[in-house]
Amino acid sequence: MRTQPRILIVEDEPAIAELISVNLRHNGLAPTWAEDGDAAQREIDAVLPDAILLDWMLPGQSGLDLARRWRSDARTRSVPILMLTARGDEPDKVAGLDAGADDYITKPFSTQELLARIRAVLRRRAPEKTDETITLGGIVLDGAAHRVTWQGRPVKVGPTEFKLLRFLLRHPERVHSRQQLLDKVWGDHVFLEERTVDVHVKRLRESLGGGGALVETVRGAGYRITAQPAGGREAA
């Protein structure tokens, strides 16, 4: 029997948490509610969720602080985080993504939008079955082991960054627009903004360290990966 995906709802307003829980339950998901960061951490310590719905404004630690903490912990690093907030301005969205959120949902939102976004991050979390090994300029991506190395040293990348790197490595030296990357890497981008690509490219570069220079920005066009980086690569 297939286990229902476990969704941790971190929300300090009981009425909102209950409404979300009811809708998730009716659509084949298993919600658990935590009203603050401490309660959420206890739930995570007990059972690792398949995804986290995280409110921005919480008593004690903010959602941003919690997202950063969970992204820095090896156990929770790959758990998808969807930020729930009434803050809809682009700088706030970027701050949420930079803190480690995989997606951003602005209140008020429809039940169908919320469910679609949850299903999207769950699909992206599922590893793509491939045994290929791709090598370029000191980067080695081992699809069978789901590992990345840079000049022989292991590199820790999240599931989305792994898929992004694999796509770029499959098409070296070619420039891909942000929209093309959303189509090919995310595949279900109807709710995602192009800025999301910039955030994940930034994370990928940081994870690769010196190898990050191989992922180049082409101004006005998009991104490419190359074995011979230009001397003055532009930042995203």
Q: Which CATH number is associated with domain 133-225?
A: 1.10.10.10
Give the pLDDT means over successive 10-residue stretches in the chain (236 positions): 81 92 93 94 92 90 90 86 77 74 83 87 66 90 90 89 92 90 72 83 93 93 86 46
User: Which string of DSSP letters, residue by residue, matches 172-200?
Assistant: TT--B-HHHHIIIIIS--TT--THHHHHH
The whole-number pLDDT of residue 130 equals: 61
pLDDT value for 88: 63
SS3 annotation, the chain: CCCCCEEEEECCCHHHHHHHHHHHHHCCCEEEEECCHHHHHHHHHHCCCCEEEEECCCCCCCHHHHHHHHHHCCCCCCCCEEEEECCCCHHHHHHHHHCCCCEEEECCCCHHHHHHHHHHHHHHHCCCCCCCEEEECCEEEECCCCEEEECCEEECCCHHHHHHHHHHHHCCCCCECHHHHHHHHHCCCCCCCCHHHHHHHHHHHHHHHHHHHHEEEECCCEEEECCCCCCCCECC
* pLDDT at res. 9: 96
Would you kindly state where each structural domain of the chain is located, as residue ranges?
6-125, 133-225
pLDDT of residue 185: 84
Confidence (pLDDT) at 1: 41
Q: What is the pTM for the complete model shown?
A: 0.60
| Structure-token pair, residue 25 | 């339950």
How many Å apart are CA 212 and CA 202, to the nearest integer? 9
pLDDT of residue 129: 53
Domains 6-125 and 133-225 are alike in CATH topology: no
User: In the CATH hierarchy, which fold is given to the domain comprising 6-125?
Assistant: Rossmann fold (3.40.50)
pLDDT of residue 231: 57
Question: Per-residue pLDDT tens for 179-224?
Answer: 888 888 877 545 677 888 999 999 999 999 999 999 999 998 999 9
| pLDDT score, position 234 | 45
Residue-level pLDDT at 233: 45
